[in-house]
Structure 1
Amino acid sequence: MRSLHASSFGAEAVAYAEHRPDYAPAAVRWALEPAPGLRVLDLGAGTGKLTGTLIALGADVIAVEPDPAMLIELRRALPDIRALPGSAEAIPLPDGSVDAVLAGNAMHWFDMAVAGAEIARVLAPGGILAGLWNVMDDRVDWIAGLERIGGRAAIGPRDTFSSWRAATAGLHLPAAGLTARFGLPEQAEFPHGQRRTADSLVATIGTRAGVLVMPEPERAATLGRIRAFLSSESATASGEFTLPMLTGVLRVRQL
């Protein structure tokens, strides 16, 4: 099931590129703060949402993405970036070649029993491993309501402020025997937002793995419930609104 979810995005790569948010620059800066330099690997780069923020902050970025359709969209959006096919379990880079490995909404798909050693291999001494997740702020009433209506397949534990820390806390851990090479993990959240309409928010939720793998009747019913809910809420019923979000960061430093 995990591999099915992880491989589901390519079929909706164009929609993913159109509707998924970027990452709060303050969050990306914090993720990179202790790194010895600005050679950064965006691992599981998707369509380049995190890559673009890294470029804007002046990083020297290499993007690695396993899905061919997602890689096409990344190269279309960012044609000047070095974008390579590969995965967290088989990184096509030499030893010690990057100062930081960042993963935007992707680390939970990595098989850390294999990927941990690969990440440790490509990191320079003192390098940073950081996962970033865009999460909806369920301290806002209508977001909490949306979570209830959508269900766990549409809005899972990594998708909301109240649960993302617990859901991601152990994801940095590399394979047994490598743990001692990394320091203690740190987590932090940074305010973020995305301009949406009811229709574009439904489209965004439609790019989530739990929705993508649903049988079509169930998918249509789930998105229909969400659309009806958004149409009934004064904050989202008409025109554009800002989706209240945070970018959560989990980082760990290689010793």
Structure 2
Amino acid sequence: MAEREEMARVFGTAAATYEAGRPDYPREAVEWMLQPARTADRAPRVADVGAGTGKLTRVAADLGAEIVAVDPDAQMLETFRLHVPGVPTFVGSAEELPLPDCSLDAVIVGQAWHWVQPDAASAEIARVLRPGGVLGLIWNIRDEHIAWVKRLTEVMSLSNAERMLAEGAPPVSAPFAAGEHRTWHWSRPMTRDTLFAMAHSRSYVLTATPEERDRIDLELGRLCDDIGAVGEATVDLPYATEAFRFVRP
């Protein structure tokens, strides 16, 4: 558990790289996650937990949510505030939320549930949700049906998220029961620089030895040459966005 917590906090050391390299979330996927949380008389009250640099927060805010951001890494929240000014931020985690009981319509977690302790996080999120509130989990996963994308993963190694989702739905505990799942397919134009930023924002690379990082950079450079990602030229990186929603009884 201590190692997992330490890994989850390495992203703040490369927050600007994370912002440049990681994709945004499809608006329709976030809208689907929030749909059970909407009421007729007001905007949904939402917490983005593991908010990072605010990529998921921005979409939810654009959809009209009244939102706060929670992240365990104070460095990450500094970058968050540069990109999403005016949104309240709190240092905290899915297992320990600095928020009142029954105060939220939704908790959303982007690219981060694989870092949490599911039993403790599920119970804590249920505490801050009103009955009928929703827990939304979302990941952008590269679509490895394309040969060069599979090669990209081989260069960078599988992430913890990719390993978890390969085994099925993310583990969520009581009081949440079985949830719903949907997938969206799309692509993101990437330059050589953004491909490198994406790779350098991953926990495996951030914690790798200098020798391993050199190996990754060398092989990634060769891959970019082979697919024509040279200079400002772009290639389309296909993604599958996997979204899950669970309603609090």
TM-score, structure 1 length as denominator? 0.88
1:205 matched residue in structure 2: 199
1:108 matched residue in structure 2: 114
In structure 2, distance between residues paired with 1:9 and 1:219: 16
C-alpha distance after superposition, 1:50-82 (max 9, x if no partner): 001111111111111110110001111111111
2:236 matched residue in structure 1: 242
Would the aligned equivalents of 2:227 and 2:235 in 1 still touch at CA under 8 Å?
A: no
CA root-mean-square deviation = 1.8
Is it true that 1:43 corresponds to 2:80 in the alignment? Answer: no
Q: Which of 136, 144, 149 pairs up with 1:143?
A: 149
Offset of residue 114 of structure 1: 2.1
Would the aligned equivalents of 2:114 and 2:160 in 1 still touch at CA under 8 Å?
A: no
Would the aligned equivalents of 1:39 and 1:98 in 2 still touch at CA under 8 Å?
A: yes
In structure 1, distance between residues paired with 2:164 and 2:186: 15
2:161 matched residue in structure 1: 158
Would the aligned equivalents of 1:158 and 1:168 in 2 still touch at CA under 8 Å?
A: no
| Runs of 4 or more above 6 Å deviation | none
Q: Which of 20, 24, 27 pairs up with 2:26?
A: 24
1:219 matched residue in structure 2: 213
1:254 matched residue in structure 2: 248
5+ residue gaps, structure 2, are none
1:230 matched residue in structure 2: 224
Alignment-mate amino acid for residue 185 of structure 1: G
Would the aligned equivalents of 2:21 and 2:196 in 1 still touch at CA under 8 Å?
A: no
Offset of residue 193 of structure 1: 2.7
TM-score, structure 2 length as denominator? 0.90
* Structure 2 residue matching 1:33: 3-state secondary structure: helix
C-alpha distance after superposition, 1:73-132 (max 9, x if no partner): 111111111111211121111011111110010111112232222101000111111111
5+ residue gaps, structure 1, are none
1:170 matched residue in structure 2: 170
Offset of residue 224 of structure 1: 1.7
The alignment covers a number of residue pairs equal to 242
In structure 2, distance between residues paired with 1:148 and 1:18: 22
In structure 2, distance between residues paired with 1:20 and 1:225: 20
What fraction of aligned residue pairs are identical, expressed as a percent?
A: 36
* Structure 2 residue matching 1:34: 3-state secondary structure: helix
Alignment-mate amino acid for residue 123 of structure 2: A
